A = this chain, B = another copy of it.
């Protein structure tokens, strides 16, 4: 009866969600993106129960999104840092942030925003474009079966 898994499914969206689709994983990745590395830092930032955090970190390491490193400050503890695979989640975070900023706040609510470090300006909204550069809306797209690689 287990929680249903998308392992056998051919849809890449489902596959992604199977790996990072739980309540905490993307927030851990977000914090890692911001430079947090230590168990305690994540725990304090997220307010998540320690057993759950422990579970999630293990999961993310197992999936190659985080990796464990010796602490950078010379102590004997370890640190969790994003791998290249983890860093490539960046556009998902940006997309989630953009939607959240737009649709999940009341007027007058305090909020944070991801900005260009160089000028402190907001980012350009994400755009879905065709290979030739045309801006695409959902109706301009279609799901295709693709022959397996190799």
Please determine whether B110 and A13 come into contact, CB atoms closer than 8 angstroms. no
Q: How far is the CA of A137 from the CA of B131 in the complex (A)?
A: 21
A80 CB to nearest B CB, Å: 16
Contact status A13-B26, CB under 8 Å: yes
Closest to A146 in B: B113
Query: By the criterion CB–CB under 8 Å, are A15 and B105 in contact?
Result: yes
From 85 to 134 in chain A, residues with beta carbon under 8 angstroms from any chain B beta carbon are 85, 87-105, 107-124, 126-134
Asked whether A100 lies within 8 Å of B12 as measured between CB atoms, the reply is yes
The A interface is mostly helix, strand or loop, or mixed, namely mixed
A149 sits at the interface (CB 8 A) = yes
Counting every copy of the chain, the complex holds: 2
Contact A116 B141 (CB under 8 A): yes
Are B111 and A148 interface neighbours, CB within 8 A? yes
A117 touches which one: B105, B132, B142 (CB < 8 A)?
B142
Give chain A's interface residues, CB within 8 Å of chain B: 3-4, 10-19, 21-23, 26-27, 30, 33-34, 47-48, 64, 85, 87-105, 107-124, 126-134, 136-146, 148-150
Q: 14 A-B residue contacts at CB 8 Å?
A: A12-B104, A13-B27, A13-B93, A13-B96, A16-B96, A16-B104, A33-B138, A94-B95, A114-B144, A116-B136, A118-B134, A120-B142, A121-B131, A123-B130
In the A-B complex, the 8 residue pairs with the smallest Cβ-Cβ separation, listed nearest first, are A12-B100, A16-B100, A15-B104, A12-B101, A15-B100, A116-B130, A92-B95, A16-B96
